[in-house]
């Protein structure tokens, strides 16, 4: 009998491991592992965990219609999973395990341990690469992994042949159902707490995710490059949570673009580039595992002396920095469990540069709150902003949040939506209210001087040789 184990791939279509597991027609069980210890260690947000449980409940019936029952296994630590999977296999007479590869360090270590146990117990473990292109197959002209995005993206685009973009079929229906499926537990029963956050703006099925993708490509993608940085507009695909839990794949997204055009329009090209950025950060995680261990991609920055300033960090988390665009962005995150990408860069750079607070604290806070939290993308984005990462922003290039606000939220529409104290703020002060206006509207002073803190950051980064 075969076993397929879900990870961040809660879909039926274009699921290589699931399709391969269905071919032998000797019975197939799908397994989902609930691991609260791993969730806490990795900082998975409650919003993302709720979305995954809802998506799991939605995929249950399509699987059952294929005679593929879904079972739920509870674990307490990612290091315990291999022996618990082995116990499950013995109980259900499993002889073959199929799963899609994951690249963060803990997941790779778990799979190595699982492979060792399988070899000792005559179980065949088959792992499939679920990325757009297998990371092992993408190298520079010297045969080494890329460290810079632009040449990597050019290489990827050359490799996007019809064969590479061929999607996997749906799994074959099994001749018979081997065992009864499990009920999908409620969020409260699983995580011992209520979480009443609404996920109405986030697809929970691959069908709804595919529909949103199709609508975006048909109606909005042509203006994506011009409008993507304006946070008050809904000008992005709003599919990041679907990518994060695997309702759709990069391959499906690119195919949708290419089916509507040749992908060379400015909006189409820019959006596909963002898909390739996601692939790039997973590629970096695969080839450079130290980024999964709380280390800077550039090792010299592990020597950097970050400031211990818990008070400023808390004000940053709460959106009480006295800088309207930063506060609006952080409140958007806290209230909606999502943040516009331009604002992620602004807030990350403000924390790591103007405040000189360790980027890892911000990285963790984002993961603990984002409904679309993806380790590779989140880590890559934070290290880019902090100038410690691969192909990072130069340390002397520091966003001024006020000029960023003036450029991308010129009328303050986004700010006023999330910082209600400033609704009555004069339009000519919305990006940086005067002392008098701050006092009258009960809005705080800036927690740091932008000019002097910028110079402080440049000096600090210069000191690292």
The helix (run of H) or strand (run of E) holding residue 391 is none
Token pair for 137 = 């197959």
State how far the Cα of 287 lies from the Cα of 295, in Å rounded to an integer. 14
Other CB atoms within a 10 A radius of the CB of residue 389 amount to 23
Task: Out of 271, 316, 338, 382, pick the active-site residue.
Answer: 382
Provide the Cα torsion 110, 115, 121, 126; round to 10°: 120
391-428 core/surface letters (b: 16 or more CB in 10 A; e: else): bbbebeebbbbbebbeebbeebebbbbbbeebeebeee
306 included as an active-site residue? yes
Going from the C-alpha of 223 to that of each of 97, 265, 392, 434, 461, the distances in angstroms are 44, 10, 27, 35, 37
Task: Out of 271, 316, 338, 359, pick the active-site residue.
Answer: 359
State how far the Cα of 150 lies from the Cα of 43, in Å rounded to an integer. 30
State how far the Cα of 203 lies from the Cα of 23, in Å rounded to an integer. 29
Task: Out of 84, 274, 368, 421, pick the active-site residue.
Answer: 274
State how far the Cα of 163 lies from the Cα of 159, in Å rounded to an integer. 10
316 included as an active-site residue? no
State how far the Cα of 19 lies from the Cα of 366, in Å rounded to an integer. 34
Nearest to 457 by CA among 379, 375, 374, 359: 359
Task: Out of 298, 334, 341, 417, pick the active-site residue.
Answer: 341
382 included as an active-site residue? yes
Q: Which residues contact 168 (CB under 8 A, 6 or more apart)?
A: 13, 14, 15, 16, 19
Q: DSSP secondary-structure letter at 301?
A: G
Three-state SS for 421? helix
State how far the Cα of 333 lies from the Cα of 156, in Å rounded to an integer. 32
338 included as an active-site residue? no
Q: How many CA atoms lie within 13 A of 255 on its CB side?
A: 16
Task: Out of 100, 106, 206, 277, pick the active-site residue.
Answer: 277
Three-state SS for 74? strand
Q: Which residues contact 463 (CB under 8 A, 6 or more apart)?
A: none
Task: Out of 24, 67, 170, 306, pick the active-site residue.
Answer: 306
Say if CB 254 and CB 299 are below 8 A apart. Answer: no
As to burial, measured by CB atoms within 10 angstroms (0-12 exposed, 13-18 middle, 19+ buried), residue 144 is exposed
Q: Where are the beta strands (DSSP E) in 304-414?
A: none
Active site residues: 274, 277, 306, 341, 359, 382
């Amino acid at each position: 009998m075969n076993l397929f184990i879900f990870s961040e791939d809660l879909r039926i279509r274009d699921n290589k491991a699931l399709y391969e597991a269905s071919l032998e027609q000797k019975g197939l069980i799908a397994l989902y592992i609930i691991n609260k210890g791993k969730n806490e260690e990795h900082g998975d947000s409650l919003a993302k965990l709720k979305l995954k449980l809802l998506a799991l409940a939605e995929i249950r019936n399509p699987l059952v219609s294929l005679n593929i029952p879904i079972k739920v296994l509870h674990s307490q630590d990612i290091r315990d999973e291999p022996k618990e999977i082995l116990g499950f296999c013995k109980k259900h007479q499993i002889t073959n395990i199929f799963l899609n590869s994951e690249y963060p360090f803990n997941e790779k270590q778990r799979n190595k341990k699982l492979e060792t146990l399988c070899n000792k117990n005559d179980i065949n473990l088959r792992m499939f690469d679920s990325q757009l292109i297998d990371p092992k197959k993408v190298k520079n002209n010297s045969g080494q992994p890329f460290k810079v995005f632009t040449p990597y993206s050019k290489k990827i685009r050359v490799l996007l042949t019809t064969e590479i973009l061929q999607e996997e079929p749906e799994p074959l229906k099994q001749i018979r159902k081997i065992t009864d499926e499990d009920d999908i537990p409620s969020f409260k029963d699983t995580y011992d707490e209520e979480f009443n956050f609404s996920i109405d703006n986030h697809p929970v099925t691959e069908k709804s995710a595919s529909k949103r993708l199709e609508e975006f490509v048909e109606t909005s993608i042509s203006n994506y490059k011009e409008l993507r940085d304006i946070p008050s507009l809904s000008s992005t695909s709003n599919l990041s949570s679907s990518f994060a839990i695997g309702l759709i794949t990069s391959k499906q997204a690119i195919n949708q673009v290419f089916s509507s055009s040749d992908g060379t329009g400015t909006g189409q090209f820019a959006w596909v580039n963002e898909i390739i950025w996601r692939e790039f950060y997973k590629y970096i995680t695969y080839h450079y595992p130290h980024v999964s261990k709380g280390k800077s991609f550039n090792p010299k920055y592990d020597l950097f002396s970050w400031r211990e300033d818990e008070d400023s960090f808390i004000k940053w988390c709460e959106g009480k920095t006295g800088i309207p665009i930063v506060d609006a962005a952080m409140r958007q995150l806290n209230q909606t469990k999502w943040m516009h990408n331009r604002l992620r860069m602004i807030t990350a750079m403000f924390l790591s540069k103007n405040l000189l607070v360790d980027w890892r604290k911000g990285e963790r806070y984002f993961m603990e709150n984002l409904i679309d939290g993806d380790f590779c993308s989140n880590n890559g984005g934070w290290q880019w902003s902090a100038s410690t990462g691969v192909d990072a922003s130069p340390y002397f290039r520091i966003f001024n949040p006020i000029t960023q606000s003036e450029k991308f939220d010129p009328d303050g529409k986004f700010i006023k939506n999330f910082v209600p104290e400033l609704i009555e703020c004069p339009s000519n002060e919305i990006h940086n209210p005067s002392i008098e206006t701050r006092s009258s509207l009960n809005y705080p002073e800036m927690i740091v001087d932008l000019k002097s803190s910028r110079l402080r950051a440049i000096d600090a980064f210069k000191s690292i040789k």
